Amino acid sequence: MVSGRQSSDRREPSPPPPLSCDPGQKKPLSAIIKEVCDGWSLANHECFALQHADSSNFYITEKNRNEIKNGTILRLTTSPAQNAQQLHERIQSSSMDAKLEALKDLASLSRDVTFAQEFINLDGICLLTQMVESGTERYQKLQKIMKPCFGDMLSFTLTAFVELMDHGIVSWDTFSVAFIKKIASFVNKSAMDISILQRSLAILESMVLNSHDLYQKVAQEITIGQLIPHLQGTDQEIQTYTIAVINALFLKAPDERRQEMANILAQKQLRSIILTHVIRAQRAINNEMAHQLYVLQVLTFNLLEDRMMTKMDPQDQAQRDIIFELRRIAFDAESEPNNSSGSMEKRKSMYTRDYKKLGFINHVNPAMDFTQTPPGMLALDNMLYFAKHHQDAYIRIVLENSSREDKHECPFGRSSIELTKMLCEILKVGELPSETCNDFHPMFFTHDRSFEEFFCICIQLLNKTWKEMRATSEDFNKVMQVVKEQVMRALTTKPSSLDQFKSKLQNLSYTEILKIRQSERMNQEDFQSRPILELKEKIQPEILELIKQQRLNRLVEGTCFRKLNCRRRQDKFWYCRLSPNHKVLHYGDLEESPQGEVPHDSLQDKLPVADIKAVVTGKDCPHMKEKGALKQNKEVLELAFSILYDSNCQLNFIAPDKHEYCIWTDGLNALLGKDMMSELTRNDLDTLLSMEIKLRLLDLENIQIPDAPPPIPKEPSNYDFVYDCN
């Protein structure tokens, strides 16, 4: 439906003829606009355009017209070129009120890429930057008496700038040092309007992420010390933007500068400030903040990559001295004997014996144990940290195992090397942070040397588990597997401190792990006889139908999806849900993340299920074939899926997590009559089948089920025992 507006002094003409869907889609858009203008007796149809009548106010173009759904209400309005020209003039008005109103309209319209392109063509970005650089000073004198107006004006200016740049039309490399200084000054001021501070931080983050030259300029204007006060406030959104800027500076810093920056962060006590004012603040942590904390955690651990990938040089005396120090702490060696030929042999023999007690593979030259990368020198660093900061535990472990003669000693050196490698794999040291993950661990923000403390807890766990398993050197890999399971299970509980993590591990003894494994294995081991397998096969269709209904019910409830771009400047959401009759998908944009379900009537767009041609995932998705660093991200690829419909039309999704990805791909495949192939379906099928089998076999407890059915007895010689009950 198309509606139009006209001035009240004009005679009411007859309404334009309604536009039928098929002929309208085939006509050029200009012809449709002319037809509507003629119906309302409006001249100069080229000065008009069609626009969505909903809150988005997006213009209709030849490129996006195929996305219009039946029943969508459109509005006849000023063309984007003319609108851009008018706003370009209005924001330069000498009237403060007119200027403020124009900037407010510009901030709203700039979200539309069609309008944005026209405004940018008028050199609008340059005009906005000039207003920020010099225009603010022009009104400094009025700021005291018109402070709210001044704050709103600057806020709308920065909002429009952010929205225009977000379309990726203009390169970030084009901005002057004066503009960067001005934006940085808004961040560095102690008292600044919240909205201005938010947008200034967002601009700085984008500059750093999108331009190497701007990174260097921003790094000169902004220091960590100037950002820290924003973390000590109570506004979580400001805190989120602040950590995002710190992460961007961290991510783009050259390798040689990154460690220096980490030292500055430590000096400024960033970790303890985040722990106090963010993680332990009396409020829930939203998804975006969780993501930024996860990114900071990953970038911090990635500082270990250099040591992890550095091989030990057996000829480097400084590195060899670390091994000597480990030996000295463990065995409190006496002063070195005189450097005679006889004492040299004695010393070598003594060193070899001690290195064997320390659990190194190469007893003669233990430096060779650290030539494998990963974990490289990082393992030796961890061992030295443990020996110095947990000396009693270190000496106890080494002496306890070196005195055993029953081949059950736990080799400290070899264990430390393999454990360091395993912990690096668990924490994905060296990998870039995911764009969608928010899996941060609060306990890593409770200590300045969290990885080393993590290692110290785990090496003691390994020694404890080794003794519980009564393991020998042949069982080394089995012990490492058990330890990995213990660590992973403890991490999934998200302990708030390292002490709590240690406590969780105490409850996950080897005996407890065996119980858990046995419980999880019951389905596979106890129900493999032929009769049980036949029963499973009979029940499976019923269980699959149950899973299918659950998936469809979840689609009816709907899911909020995040709109991702090359940077997570701010949350933009859209919601999609299936109609109760499973015939239509309803979807539409949201201003903020919803609390609960979103009603169907509030979602503007519809897609009939009958129009769906296919569902594709991963690299086959159209939005994953576009260029850009985000599209190459492995985690994003694993969460991406698209619905293909009509000709060259698609609805693109990036699921919030793996669970929602499985729910939606299963549900969509079920709607199309295809098999549900996700890992979640396999797990649910196994769980539900196991439960159903157990319920059906309750009466047969402690009765052994034969593999083959019992033989059918012979017919009786007579049927005299049969009688009529009547």
Helix 194-210 crosses helix 236-252 at what angle (to 10 degrees)?
A: 20
Q: Are strands 605-608 and 584-590 parallel, antiparallel or unpaired?
A: antiparallel
Say what the pLDDT of residue 571 is. Answer: 55
Which among 204, 256, 255 is positioned nearest to 226, based on CA atoms?
A: 204
Cα 444 from Cα 457, distance rounded (Å) = 13
Q: What angle do CA 281, 282, 283 make, to 5 degrees?
A: 95
Say what the pLDDT of residue 488 is. Answer: 96
Cα 542 from Cα 10, distance rounded (Å) = 68
Contact 665, 659 (CB under 8 A): no
Q: Is 238 helix (H, G, I), strand (E, B) or coil?
A: helix
- Residue 259 tokens read as 């460690």
Say what the pLDDT of residue 139 is. Answer: 47
Beta bridge partners of residue 50, listed in sequence order? 76
Q: Phi first, then psi: what are they for 59, rounded to 5°?
A: -75, 150
Which among 201, 428, 208 is positioned nearest to 297, based on CA atoms?
A: 428
Q: Is 63 helix (H, G, I), strand (E, B) or coil?
A: coil
- Residue 622 tokens read as 């159209």
Q: State the pTM of this model.
A: 0.76
Beta bridge partners of residue 617, listed in sequence order? 641
Note the Cα 566 to chain centre separation in Å.
Answer: 13
Can you list the alpha helix ranges (DSSP code H) found in 46-94? 80-90
Which residues are CB-neighbours of 100 under 8 A, at least 6 positions away?
Answer: 149, 152, 153, 156
Q: Are strands 74-78 and 2-3 parallel, antiparallel or unpaired?
A: parallel
Cα 109 from Cα 59, distance rounded (Å) = 10
Contact 510, 482 (CB under 8 A): yes
Cα 421 from Cα 382, distance rounded (Å) = 11
Say what the pLDDT of residue 715 is. Answer: 86
Helix 194-210 crosses helix 147-165 at what angle (to 10 degrees)?
A: 30
**CA separation, residue 583 to residues 327, 431, 555, 556, 577 (Å):** 73, 43, 12, 11, 11
Contact 388, 329 (CB under 8 A): yes
Cα 401 from Cα 416, distance rounded (Å) = 14
Q: Are strands 640-645 and 612-617 parallel, antiparallel or unpaired?
A: antiparallel
What per-residue string of b and e applies to 10-44 under the rule 16 or more CB within 10 Å gives b?
Answer: eeeeeebeebeeeebeeeebeebbbbbbebbebee
Which among 642, 635, 636, 634 is positioned nearest to 612, based on CA atoms?
A: 642
Helix 341-357 crosses helix 391-402 at what angle (to 10 degrees)?
A: 100
**End-to-end Cα distance, the chain:** 78
DSSP readout, 572-634? -EEEEEE-TTSSEEEEEEESS--SS---GGG--EEEEGGGEEEEEEGGGSGGGSS-STGGG-H
The residue assigned the tokens 């050197």 is: 473
| Segments of the chain with pLDDT less than 70 | 1-26, 55, 135-150, 333-342, 405-406, 521-528, 564-571, 593, 626-633, 699-707, 722-726
Cα dihedral 201, 202, 204, 209, rounded to 10, equals 140
- Residue 71 tokens read as 């029943």
Q: Are strands 2-3 and 48-52 parallel, antiparallel or unpaired?
A: unpaired
Say what the pLDDT of residue 630 is. Answer: 44
Say what the pLDDT of residue 18 is. Answer: 38
Contact 553, 695 (CB under 8 A): no
Say what the pLDDT of residue 489 is. Answer: 95
Say what the pLDDT of residue 521 is. Answer: 66
Say what the pLDDT of residue 469 is. Answer: 93
Beta bridge partners of residue 298, listed in sequence order? none
The 8-class DSSP code of residue 78 comes to E
- Whether residue 375 is preceded by a cis peptide bond, meaning omega within 30 degrees of 0, is yes
Q: What angle do CA 174, 176, 180 make, to 5 degrees?
A: 110
- Residue 26 tokens read as 């085939």
| Residue 19 φ/ψ region, left for φ over 0, alpha for ψ in the -120 to 50 degree band, beta for the rest | beta
- Residue 280 tokens read as 């332990």
Can you list the alpha helix ranges (DSSP code H) found in 493-529? 498-507, 510-525
Note the Cα 354 to chain centre separation in Å.
Answer: 47
Contact 36, 16 (CB under 8 A): yes
Say what the pLDDT of residue 589 is. Answer: 82
Say what the pLDDT of residue 5 is. Answer: 39
Say what the pLDDT of residue 366 is. Answer: 93
Say what the pLDDT of residue 576 is. Answer: 93
- Residues for the chain: how many in total? 726
Say what the pLDDT of residue 14 is. Answer: 44
Which among 483, 478, 323, 476 is positioned nearest to 410, based on CA atoms?
A: 476
Cα 302 from Cα 392, distance rounded (Å) = 30
What pLDDT digit, counting tens, does each position of 329-353 carry?
Answer: 998 744 444 444 457 777 788 888 8
